[in-house]
Amino acid sequence: MKSNSLVSIDQCSKEDILRILSNASKFEENPNRNLLEGKVAATLFFEPSTRTRLSFETAVNRLGGRVIGFQDASTTSSTKGETLKDTILMVSNYADLIIMRHHLEGAARYASEITNVPIINAGDGANQHPSQTLLDLYSIQKTQGTLDNLTITMVGDLKYGRTVHSLIVGMSHFNPTFHFVAPDELRMPEEQKTFCDKLGIKYSEHSDFTEEIINQTDILYMTRVQRERFTDLVEYERVKNVYILRNEMLQNSKDNLRVLHPLPRINEIAYDVDDSPKAYYIQQAQNGLYAREAIICELFGIEV
Ligand code: CP
């Protein structure tokens, strides 16, 4: 990769992506390797997380490095008014790698511009979540045997969902066809549709979540309506239950269809889907460990 930071998936070439996925499969075979001995990673989570923080911390631990950081910014000096700039400069004194999640779009890019310590964007507002994209691509490749020529249906909060925004960019190298299923209030933003238009990527938009769409689909990517991004909670209440995937809706779907979700889920996937062989979201989160081991080594230039 050209940069020593990962702030956006668009900085990864097709070759970068395929190399990281190949390395992720090596870590899946053997996750415990002493490649980060003597290195310290800082996880700075200004927003809540379960999977991203814990899988990054597990990745560093399994690679023989050590972890410092916080999961609750209210325990840090940011509550006394310390700026993000000063926080990043301080942590750069202590750590060899900074993994950060922040509510402000562009926060990780800003951090990467003020420090030489590698930055991994673990989610910045509704903008990007590039490590999630790499684990999603790894999950898609594993379950489909290829990344090429797949039909991907994205369902739910396509306006605020940073995972779908990043996944469009990541999949753009592989001739995808997208279905975007969202209520009017949460449609895919113009920026992402313009991106598809410029690259000649096929997509269609729908407000109804029908079996006709599901039955054409290889990857069904469900998303949560993101309560924390709404300024008007009445609007959130109106749309929060708009799409719920139930097992019976998969009965005529393709054999290779897999249901992905970045998680956490609220109620957009009914629990009866969990027993379907097409449910893949728990394994998808497990793949995050291997993908994140590969990402960390990529940024340090460590041969895997
Ligand atoms: N997928 C994801 O980002 O999950 P967390 O918010 O739990 O990290």
Contact 127 CB / ligand 1 (< 6 Å): no
pLDDT tens digits, one per residue of 99-126: 999 999 999 999 999 999 999 999 999 8
* Ligand 1 center to 223 CA (angstroms): 11
State pLDDT tens for residues 258-298.
Answer: 999 999 999 999 999 999 999 999 999 999 999 999 999 99
DSSP assignment of the chain: --SSSBS-GGG--HHHHHHHHHHHHHHHH------STT-EEEEEESS--SHHHHHHHHHHHHTT-EEEEES-GGGSGGGGT--HHHHHHHHHTT-SEEEEEESSTTHHHHHHHH-SS-EEEEEETTTB-HHHHHHHHHHHHHHHS-STT-EEEEES-TTT-HHHHHHHHHHGGG--EEEEE--GGGPPPHHHHHHHHHHT-EEEEESS--HHHHTT-SEEEE----GGG-S-HHHHHHHTTS--B-GGGGTTS-TT-EEE--S--SSSB-GGGTTSTTB-HHHHHHHHHHHHHHHHHHHHT---
Q: What is the pLDDT of residue 103?
A: 94
Give the pLDDT score at 232.
Answer: 84
Q: What is the pLDDT, as a whole number, of residue 226?
A: 79
pLDDT band, very low/low/confident/very high, at 170 (cuts 50, 70, 90): very high
| % residues pLDDT > 70 (the chain) | 100
Band (242; pLDDT cuts 50, 70, 90): confident
pLDDT at 35: 98
Residue tagged active-site, from 62, 101, 159, 179: 101
Active-site hit among 53, 62, 102, 129 = 129
Q: Which pLDDT does position 24 carry in this prediction?
A: 98
Question: For a pocket test of ligand 1, which of 43, 44, 51, 287 has the largest count of ligand atoms closer than 8 A to its C-beta?
Answer: 51
Say what the pLDDT of residue 140 is.
Answer: 98
Can you give the pLDDT at residue 13?
97
Q: Is the CB of 55 under 6 A from ligand 1?
A: no
pTM equals 0.95
